[in-house]
Amino acid sequence: MEKLTLFNTLTRKKEEFNPIEDGIAKVYCCGPTVYNFAHIGNLRSYFFEDILKRVLLYNGYKVEHVMNITDVGHLVSDDDEGEDKMEKGSAREGKTVWEIANFYTEAFKKDIALLNIIPPTIYCKATDNIFEQIDLIICLEKKGFTYVTGDGVYYDTSKFPDYGKLARLDIEGLEEGKRIEFSSDKKNKTDFALWKFSPKNEKRQMEWESPWGKGFPGWHIECSAMSRKYLGDTFDIHCGGVDHIPIHHTNEIAQTEGCTGKKSVNYWLHGEFLIEEKGKMSKSSGEFLRLQTLIDKGYSPLDYRYFLLMTHYRKKIKFSFENLDSARNGYNNLKTRLAELKSLTLNTDTINILNTETYLNKFIDCINDDLNAGEGLALTWELLKDNELNPTEKLFLTNLFDKIFGLNLDKVEAAKKDVTIPADITKLAEKRKEAKRNKDFKLADELRKEIKEKGYEVVDEKDGKFSIKIIRL
Q: How far is the CB of 407 from ligand AMP (least distance, A)?
A: 20
Residue 218 touches which member of ligand AMP, Zn ion, none, C-beta under 5-8 Å by kind: none
Q: Which of residues 241-260 bind ligand AMP (CB under 6 A)?
A: 241, 243-244
Given Zn ion, ligand AMP, none, residue 223, with its beta carbon under 5 to 8 Å by kind, binds Zn ion
With CB under 5 to 8 Å by kind, the binding choice for 273 among Zn ion, ligand AMP, none is: ligand AMP
Among 98, 103, 147, 273, the residue binding ligand AMP under the rule CB under 6 A is 273
Interaction mask 12-51, Zn ion, x per CB under 5 A:
------------------x---------------------
Q: Tell which one of 4, 9, 19, 32 touches ligand AMP (CB under 6 A).
A: 32
- For 52, phi and psi rounded to 5 degrees? -55, -50
Residue nearest ligand AMP by beta-carbon distance? 241
Q: In this complex, which beta carbon is closest to ligand AMP, that of residue 123 or of residue 147?
A: 123
User: Smallest distance, Å, CB 1 to Zn ion?
Assistant: 29
The verdict on 30 binding ligand AMP (CB under 6 A) reads yes
| Angle CA 413–416–420, to nearest 5 | 130
Exactly one of 223, 237, 338, 397 binds Zn ion (CB under 5 A); that residue is 223
Which listed residue (283, 335, 337, 432) binds ligand AMP by CB under 6 A?
283
Site string for ligand AMP, 208-247 (x = CB under 6 A): --------------------------------xx-xx---
Identify what 33 binds: ligand AMP, Zn ion, none; CB under 5 to 8 Å per kind: ligand AMP
Q: Is 73 in the site for ligand AMP (CB under 6 A)?
A: no
CB of 30 or CB of 269, closer to Zn ion: 30
Residue pair 327/307 in contact by the 8 Å Cβ criterion: yes
CA–CA gap between residue 458 and residue 444 (Å, rounded):
11
| C-alpha span between 259 and 224 (Å, rounded) | 10
| Contacts to ligand AMP by CB under 6 A | 30, 32-33, 41-42, 44-45, 240-241, 243-244, 271, 273-274, 281, 283
| Contacts to Zn ion by CB under 5 A | 30, 223
